[in-house]
Structure 1
Amino acid sequence: MNYYKEIYVFDQKIPIKTIIRNYKEKDFSDLIEIQKASFPPPFPSDLWWNKEQLTNHVELFPEGALCVEIDGELCGSMTGLLIDYHIGDPHKGWDEATSSGYIANHNPSGNSLYVVDICVRPEYRKYGLGKLLMQSMYETVVQLQLKRLLGGGRLPGYSRHAKEMTIDQYVSNVLTGRIHDPVITFLLKCGRTPLEVIPNYLEDEESLNYGLLMEWKNPFLFQK
């Protein structure tokens, strides 16, 4: 099932037509360049996409392979896979949860969409494209009648506070607004809610290898 949406973003008062769609093989080179620009050192370069990973994305779960473009230029992407998840399940690090980005563990019968990656070129972040990609993936969750979107978020601000507080204290400060974390605060603004801290989530100096498992529940399937 293909995804295609036209929407406008604004450069101050000027509307700019934007397209969100499934990415395909012809986009692979651009997607790799976006990764390089989005995740500069000290982020490990071996975690940038390669063509084999991208091939798996579009072949195993094309519905979870989204990109955004402006004036024909790819500006960002978001990737997911399906897993079967129940609250309380032990959570894995990024490598195990995503088969190191190859999504070989994609479960077509899974009940949850797990986010593998989201990235936007730095020069395009002023347009809110990351939030638009996230909203588009929420729409995919609804369309596929899944229970939730799930994923681990980096905590790149933690390394600056690790000497004065534990990871749980850091997360609590982010949730109360006393600390702004570039990733977790963004995910909160996108509608995600925290579940648990994940030690050894990803080899990541800035996060001291921690991640925060966060979800978005399908509002049509969950009732109070």
Structure 2
Amino acid sequence: MHKELYIFQDDKPVKAIIRPYNDSDFEALIEVQRLSFPPPFPVELLWNREQLFEHIERFPAGALCAEVDGCIVGSMTALLVNMNDYSHEHSWEKMTDSGYIRNHNGEGDTLYVVDICVVPMFRKTGIGKWLMQSMYETVVQLGLSRLLGGGRMPGYGKHIQECSPEAYLEKVMTGEWKDPVITFLLRCGRIPVGIARDYLEDEQSNHCAVIMEWRNPFNQRRELSC
């Protein structure tokens, strides 16, 4: 994949590129993560070179970055899984092999999102939506059933004492509360299908995530469970 498009920054069109990342991009990708996930996000969960190498070796179609003026400003990574292999255990560590994706299954029917991030300067420019759209195109191209993944809910940290994660999600869905991650995923066309507790070490989300999917409209397979 190599896609050229325009994003809008301060109402000005700016050319951007969506492409697979490679080993020459590793340091820039690690810096993008550092800028995208500042403390209290655990620094040990940011990419390392070994993880990035596994991404490009095992599933290069699921290793995308966004580039503007020769600089990487965002990335998105995914792998293929068969959800029947995971029963009801659903954590980021289990689903992504702690980010190493050594569990990538070339026969899987679900494209599972490992990570998506955009540096703060380029948020609200549309670059995150274009990364997501590119992964939807991968789902269609490979004839998969869906894209699936856990969305952080960092706004939940302010409401832990007053409601459950399910109640928090309901208030986000009714528009009463806003969550920067869940609202972004909704705008990208993702649909909530459940809550996963102990999904990721993430104090802001009380370690919870909203499992969200995008169904391939061109593929009518049997019903899938999370």
Bucket of the pairwise TM-score, normalised by the shorter protein: over 0.9
* Structure-1 residue corresponding to 2:70: 72
Kindly provide the CA deviation profile for residues 133-179 of structure 1, in whole angstroms up to 9, marking residues without a partner as x: 00010001111110000000111011101111111110111111111
Q: Contact 2:8–2:126 at 8 Å: present in 1 too? A: no
- Measure how far apart 1:11 and its partner are: 2.5
CA 1:91–1:217 in structure 2 vs 1: closer, same or farther (change >3 Å)?
farther
Aligned to 2:40: 42
In the alignment, residue 67 of structure 2 is paired with which amino acid? Answer: E
| Contact persistence 2:114–2:149 (CA under 8 A) | yes
Please state whether the residue corresponding to 1:19 is helix, strand or coil.
strand
**Correspondence for 1:218:** 216
Task: Specify the code of the residue in structure 2 equivalent to 1:192.
Answer: R
| Amino acid corresponding to residue 51 of structure 2 in structure 1 | Q
Distance 2:149 2:63 in 1: 15
- Cross-structure match for 2:108: 110
Residue of structure 2 aligned with 1:21, choices 19, 32, 35: 19
Larger CA deviation: 201-210 vs 122-131: 122-131
Q: Distance in 2 between matches of 1:71 and 1:165?
A: 44
Tell me the distance in 2 between the aligned counterparts of 1:114 and 1:58: 15
Q: Which amino acid aligns with 1:26?
A: S
Distance change (3 Å), C-alpha of 1:91 and 1:191? farther
Aligned residue number for residue 172 of structure 1: 170
Following the alignment from structure 2 to structure 1, what is the Cα–Cα distance between the partners of residues 52 and 10? 34
- Alignment match, 2:138: 140
Return the alpha-carbon distance in structure 2 between the equivalents of residues 174 and 102 of structure 1.
32
Structure 2 counterpart of 1:11:
9
The 3 A distance-change label for structure 1 pair 170 and 213 is same
1:185 match: 183
> Following the alignment from structure 1 to structure 2, what is the Cα–Cα distance between the partners of residues 66 and 14?
24
Shift of 1:12: 3.5
Cα contact 2:9–2:122 (8 A) shared by 1 = no
State the distance in 2 between where 1:89 and 1:214 align: 17
Match in the other structure for 1:208: 206
Query: Which residue of the partner structure matches residue 224 of structure 2?
Result: none
In the aligned structure 2, how far is the partner of 1:160 from the partner of 1:191?
26
CA–CA distance in structure 1, aligned partners of residues 37 and 5 of structure 2? 26
Task: State the 1:111 CA deviation.
Answer: 0.2
When normalised by structure 2's length, the TM-score is 0.94
Determine the structure 2 residue equivalent to 1:198: 196
Number of aligned residue pairs: 220
CA gap of 1:150–1:91, structure 2 versus 1, over 3 A, is farther
Root mean square deviation of aligned Cα: 1.3
Matched to 1:114, the amino acid is Y
What TM-score, normalized by structure 1, do the two folds share?
A: 0.95
C-alpha distance in 2, partners of 1:13/1:127?
Answer: 9
